[in-house]
Amino acid sequence: MSTDLKVIEGAYLRDILDQPQALENTLANLGRSRELESLSARLGKGKFQRIVLTGMGSSFHALHPLNLQLINYGYTAIMVETSELVHYKNRFFDPKTLIVAVSQSGQSAEMVRLATVNRKRSAVIAVTNTPDSMLAKHATAALLTQAGSEFSVSCKTYVTALMALKWLGDVLCGRDAKFTRRELKDAAPAVASYLADWKSYVESLAATLKNIRHLFFVGRGASLAAVF
């Protein structure tokens, strides 16, 4: 089987190949701000009854590992798409709720609506790629990814959001930041090593999928973030 790789070369492929650098930049920027430490301390003292994890599309699915981590630690964590949260579950907006909101742009209609409906009633931790966005400005604390601009659908933003949310989960669960940073520093080299041989992977996959009509993505646990 002959595979013409030119059909996938271009701006989107360049974004994929830039993932290692985006991960390195994001890790270098992650830190424990005073606001984030304050929210973590309040959570540990039982000041919040629930943690609502919200986003849309891939930003929503990236929250799945964090949801499992928080539940396993003993917190009440709930995943709710932002469109559902702002229209049908707005009773969650109260001082007993801590919201973690993820959005690449921080300017989507749902995130603007969240800021409008919430009106600072709930504390909000934003994870976004856009520091001057509505979401970042509305948030009590913010974690900024360093994915840079993207050509089309998120690929750099998605992996950097996963990294930022892993960092956030360890902060909220009281884990030592040194151990977290040590774990996360291996992510960029691992991705770079994989992507170095991307052409052979594409050719192998194309050959495997020849004449395949139905494709199922399967996973469990934190891997569901990638499946979705």
CB 91 within 8 A of CB 117: no
pLDDT in the model for residue 133: 94
SS3 77: strand
CB 163 within 8 A of CB 26: yes
Q: Give Cβ neighbours of residue 152 (< 8 Å, ≥ 6 apart).
A: 11, 12, 15
- Is a pLDDT exceeding 50 seen at residue 47? yes
- Is a pLDDT exceeding 50 seen at residue 116? yes
- HSE of 51, CA atoms in CB hemisphere, 13 A: 28
Domains of the chain and any CATH numbers: 5-227 (3.40.50.10490)
Which range, of 79-93, 98-112, 146-160, 162-176, averages the lowest pLDDT?
Answer: 146-160
What is the residue-wise DSSP string for 179-222? HHHHHHTTHHHHHHHHHTTHHHHHHHHHHHTTT---------GG
Cα separation, 209 vs 207, in Å, equals 6
Average pLDDT (81-108) is 96
